Amino acid sequence: MGVSMSVRILALVGSLRAGSHNRQLAEAAVKLAPEGAEVSLFEGLAEIPFYNEDIDVEGSVPAAAAKLREAANAADGLLLFTPEYNGTIPAVLKNAIDWLSRPYGAGALSGKPVAVVGTAFGQYGGVWAHDETRKSVGVAGGKVLEDVKLSIPGSMTRFAETHPADDAEVAAQLTEVVARLHGHATEPAAA
């Protein structure tokens, strides 16, 4: 094993809007990834059909879902960015987790460290959605990093004219999140 192997972190964003602040946060994480970590932003969650066992069959898994599973399988850890829709997790992100939870007991999230962060308009920064996402990821087999949290409130005003990558405090917090996820992803798995 070469020391140059960088840790691959897959970022999933729960908002489909091109100018979404959570997408901007994910872009910032890609840019701020510390030495030895590579964060890649998954594109295409919108193309994945709703989870249905009838189409989750060898040879007929929709291409978009297969692509998500491959990306997650190849990753050493996942970083989920989610806004809060009506007090909970956006359907598009929940659907991604549902696809990654199967096959049961052997899904792409199995045993992988997962951190959940994000920003929202309200004063709590989307903590309900973040907690729901952690719960769902844990049930899906992921190793949820309960102590790696970042919920940024007041997204509309905070990022009205500043990209998260250019907000010194947010950049520092994000760098810390990625560094801690990186640390968990490089720990040897327990035998």
Model confidence pLDDT, tens digit, residues 66-97? 999 999 999 999 999 999 999 999 999 999 99
- Report pTM: 0.94
> Average pLDDT of 160-166?
96
CA distances from 111 to 87, 184, 189, 191 (A): 28, 11, 8, 12
Q: Is the pLDDT of residue 1 over 50?
A: no
Whether 32 and 178 have beta carbons less than 8 Å apart is answered as yes
Give the CA distances from residue 39 to residues 8, 67, 98, 127, 191, in Å, rounded to whole numbers and listed in that order. Answer: 6, 17, 22, 23, 27
Confidence of residue 3 (pLDDT cuts 50, 70, 90): low
Domains of the chain, earliest start first: 7-185 (3.40.50.360)
Q: Which residues pair with 118 in a beta bridge?
A: 151
Handedness of CA 170, 143, 13, 44 (dihedral sign): positive
- Report the candidate in 91, 144, 93 with the shortest Cα–Cα distance to residue 114: 144
Polymer length in residues for the chain: 191
pLDDT digits (tens, 9 = 90+) for 101-159: 999 889 999 999 999 999 999 999 999 999 999 999 999 999 999 999 999 999 999 99
CA pair distance 93, 150, nearest whole angstrom: 17
In the chain, how long is the greatest CA-to-CA distance? Answer: 48
